[in-house]
């Protein structure tokens, strides 16, 4: 059974994706009227009366239904506040970011509501804002535009591009960086260097705050990122900029700090490479790859990082060594030997230790 009502619509990304013939990440519903009243006989999991939104369990699926609403921006660039709940569908669609995201599909008739020519823009592969104040209201839409452009192979429609340029030439940094961070993550998590190129060539990086230098990108690392799958892909790209305003968490800050600690280092042999990178976050090493030297980083990631000593502390005790500072020295020297002779066995390691330290 499907969730149907003549006032209930699929809205936003799900409609866009269906037209594009691709799978949607999530299914957003919008009820023309009050969704909380509409869902009173459904299995309601939670509701948020301030936003007029509700989550229901239907056929074992969690579904979000929003009431149609209008929003206001008390301060440009800050989070909007709800103005009216239960407005017309047209007014609800009007608050959205781009024409391709401002369509609705009726759950009963299947009819598509398209006040802003989203269908035509999909056909022409264009990203178009709905009004001239769109980026001033919410500058994170610039990153959303980049995300959709790269994801679908679309480009900004001429007037939208002009509005974007105007905004980026005159940014009001009194904005919600929370949303900037969220959209930046989604955009760069695509691991698509096209996004990075546009981010720089269209000056979108200026959204990250004043005092930015445009980094020099040495080489493509898309394949390296694909092969090693870091958790924070976005930072492998965004980490080259000054991210002060984004409120990084401890893990993210550690990635940046580690990268800063190695970016001026040039190890000259395998052991130096090993020492430089071991125990560092993967993202910091990938940042080194993209901005300093990809060959050195690849040597570590694809080969050296696998090398481990098989000899343990217990083995050293069995050989007659007394636990203490000497252990660290022996391990380091034996590791150096192994890094230069990666295919030696455990007994070769023990032989080396006996020859050099007993
Ligand atoms: P995705 O496939 O990345 O989830 P989506 O279009 O579903 O894309 P969401 O971020 O889930 O994106 O947002 C759902 C809908 O809400 C959008 O399709 C759009 O209509 C609207 N929306 C989201 N963010 C904004 C924004 N910053 N400004 C205006 N409308 C927005």
pLDDT tens digits for range 194-221: 999 999 999 999 999 998 988 877 789 9
| Tokens encoding 263 | 């970016």
| Residues 117, 134: Cα–Cα separation, whole Å | 17
Instruction: Determine the distance separating the centroid of ligand 1 and the alpha carbon of 53, expressed in angstroms.
Output: 15
Instruction: Determine the distance separating the centroid of ligand 1 and the alpha carbon of 97, expressed in angstroms.
Output: 7
Residue 219's pLDDT is: 86
Mean of pLDDT values over 331-346 = 93
Number of neighbouring beta carbons within 10 Å of residue 194: 13
Separate counts of helices (H) and strands (E) for the chain: 18, 11
Residues found in the chain: 358
N-to-C CA span, the chain: 77
Residue 133's pLDDT is: 97
Token look-up 């260097």 returns 193
Residue 40's pLDDT is: 92
Residue 66's pLDDT is: 97
Instruction: Determine the distance separating the centroid of ligand 1 and the alpha carbon of 59, expressed in angstroms.
Output: 25
Residue 138 Cβ < 6 Å to ligand 1: yes
Mean of pLDDT values over 180-194 = 96
Residue 137 Cβ < 6 Å to ligand 1: no
Residue 27's pLDDT is: 84
Of the ranges 10-24, 206-220, 262-276, 299-313, which one carries the lowest mean pLDDT score?
Answer: 206-220
Number of neighbouring beta carbons within 10 Å of residue 57: 12
Residue 71 Cβ < 6 Å to ligand 1: no
Residue 183 Cβ < 6 Å to ligand 1: no
Residues 6+ apart with CB under 8 A from 192: 150, 222
Please state, rounded to an integer, the average pLDDT across all residues of the chain.
Answer: 95
| Residues 60, 41: Cα–Cα separation, whole Å | 16
3-state secondary structure of 340: helix
3-state secondary structure of 134: helix
Residue 1's pLDDT is: 65
Sign of CA dihedral 130, 133, 137, 140: positive
Mean of pLDDT values over 145-173 = 97
| Tokens encoding 343 | 């295919």
- pTM confidence score: 0.93
pLDDT-based confidence at residue 25 (cuts at 50, 70, 90): confident
The answer to whether the beta carbons of residues 200 and 236 sit under 8 Å apart is: no
Residue 149's pLDDT is: 98
């Amino acid at each position: 059974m499907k969730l149907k009502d003549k006032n209930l619509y699929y809205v936003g990304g799900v409609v866009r994706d269906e037209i594009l013939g691709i799978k949607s990440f999530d299914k957003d519903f919008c009820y023309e009227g009050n969704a909380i009243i509409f869902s009173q006989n459904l299995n309601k999991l939670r509701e948020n009366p301030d936003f007029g939104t509700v989550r229901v369990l239907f056929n074992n699926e969690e579904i979000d239904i929003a009431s149609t609403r209008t929003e206001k921006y008390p301060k440009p660039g800050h989070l909007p506040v709800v103005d009216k709940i239960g407005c017309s569908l047209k007014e609800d669609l009007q608050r959205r970011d781009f024409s391709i995201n401002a369509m609705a599909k009726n759950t009963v008739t299947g009819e598509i509501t398209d006040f802003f020519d989203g269908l035509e823009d999909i056909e022409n592969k264009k990203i178009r804002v709905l009004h001239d104040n769109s980026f001033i209201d919410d500058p994170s839409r610039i990153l959303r535009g980049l995300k959709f452009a790269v994801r679908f192979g679309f480009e900004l429609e001429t007037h939208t591009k002009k509005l974007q340029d105007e905004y980026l030439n005159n940014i009001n940094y009194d904005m919600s960086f929370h949303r900037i961070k969220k959209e930046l993550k989604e955009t760069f998590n695509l691991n698509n260097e096209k996004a990075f190129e546009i981010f720089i060539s269209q000056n979108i990086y200026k959204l990250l705050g004043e005092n930015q230098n445009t980094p020099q990108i040495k080489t493509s690392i898309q394949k390296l990122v694909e092969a090693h799958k870091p958790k924070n892909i976005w930072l492998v790209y965004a980490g080259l900029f000054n991210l002060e305003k984004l409120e990084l968490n401890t893990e993210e800050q550690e990635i940046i700090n580690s990268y800063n600690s190695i970016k001026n280092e040039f190890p000259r042999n395998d052991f130096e490479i090993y020492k430089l990178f071991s125990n560092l976050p993967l993202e910091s090493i990938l940042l080194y790859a993209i901005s300093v030297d990809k060959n050195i980083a690849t040597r570590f990631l694809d080969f050296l990082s696998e090398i481990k000593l098989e000899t343990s502390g217990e083995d050293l005790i069995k050989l007659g060594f007394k636990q203490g500072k000497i252990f660290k020295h022996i391990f380091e020297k034996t590791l150096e030997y192994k890094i230069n002779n990666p295919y030696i066995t455990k007994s070769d390691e023990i032989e080396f230790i006996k020859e050099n330290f007993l």
